[in-house]
Amino acid sequence: MDDLAAPYLDHLNEAWESLPQREQRVLWHVGVLGVPAGEVAEAVGIPAGTVGKILEGARMELGVRYREIVHRETSRPS
């Protein structure tokens, strides 16, 4: 792995871990693995329409949390 990428992967992992588990599951299965929303809805036990809302919110929240972590880390005094 590129030494320059390592801190960013750490930040991404921290942001991912800060998401609620249901958001992680939906984002991973639908957004990353491409599992149809209906299948995920059935497995998680929620309506299919809710999967899309959770997916959209999780994507946005992951980005927000990642940027907050990067900002926090880059704002620290050296």
What residue has token string 């599992």?
35
How confident is residue 78, by pLDDT bands cut at 50, 70 and 90? Answer: low
Residue-wise pLDDT tens digits, 19-31: 999 999 999 999 9
- pLDDT > 80? residue 71: yes
- The C-alpha atoms of residue 39 and residue 30 are separated, in whole angstroms, by 9
Tokens representing residue 39 in the block? 């299948």
DSSP secondary structure letter of residue 40: H
- pTM (predicted TM-score): 0.83
Mean pLDDT of 39-68: 95
Neighbouring CB atoms inside 10 A of 47's CB total: 12
